[in-house]
Structure 1
Amino acid sequence: MRAVVQRVSHAACMVDDTCTGKIEQGLLVLLGVEEEDTTEDLEWLAQKLVNLRVFSDEAGLMNKSVQDVGGNILLISQFTLFAQTKKGNRPSFIRAAKPSYAEPMYINMATRLSDLLGTQIKLGVFGADMKIDLRNDGPVTIVMNTKDKENH
């Protein structure tokens, strides 16, 4: 799994002029799934996301998590995170999981994040043409890959 995580002061997802999810302070998480991803990858990433210390403490240091600040998460499915651009100018998405595998993983991630945060996280619509409005706070943007867990 790959995730692009942005600390936001607000974020919203629109599908066909309908808001499907909106948060104020929290994390916008763009999530990509590949076929090799497992429930172990999902659990590792979920734990990292809710405990990631990217919010400022009283001294202005990034020492607080989304849990610590009472923030929320807007989770968006994003198969394009697995784009391969080595050859030509048209990206290949062959590494992205098929929807029949990726959608249940996306739903399971949403459930796990909600459980860990103790509140319902907000969602986009899997496979839809989404418009995301956000204000990146900092800016703070972090790219995470579950393949990296094996290096630690």
Structure 2
Amino acid sequence: MHAALWLVVALLGVAGCLLVLGHELVALVLVLVYVGAIVVLVLFALMLTRAPIGPDLAHAVPWWRRVLAGLAGAATTGLLLAALLPLAGEAVERREVANAAVATELFGTWVWPFEALSVLLLAALVAALAVSRGAGVDTSRGGGGAA
């Protein structure tokens, strides 16, 4: 569940990068399609699996690995800030982006793969629902239902 929610944060970060680059349409499509649909589908599938909720003590990470991960994250943040802060004061040359050309490519050339992906995700959703409902077989006793 946490990984799916962090995926939302990562995708919003990518959308922010696309906004900075001047591709507003692609950023909007990314937020609408991926954050608005794909992540909701992943969360719905996670809720259907009836996975145990709570901390998983079998895969707990030792404290020193958490500290190392925090230090690695802080070092990466420092490196990015050291590289990007000197650029913050400079004037940025903004070129005109042809949103119509991007929209034509996205909804012209790539519309069929996009639709195929939506059908595949719909099939996965229906399969997850069918698996979660079961076939009426009682598996709690270890048998096939016939006593």
Bigger strand share: 1
TM-score > 0.5 by shorter chain: no
Task: Provide TM-score, normalisation by structure 2.
Answer: 0.26
Task: Provide TM-score, normalisation by structure 1.
Answer: 0.25
**Which structure is larger by alpha-carbon Rg, 1 or 2?**
2
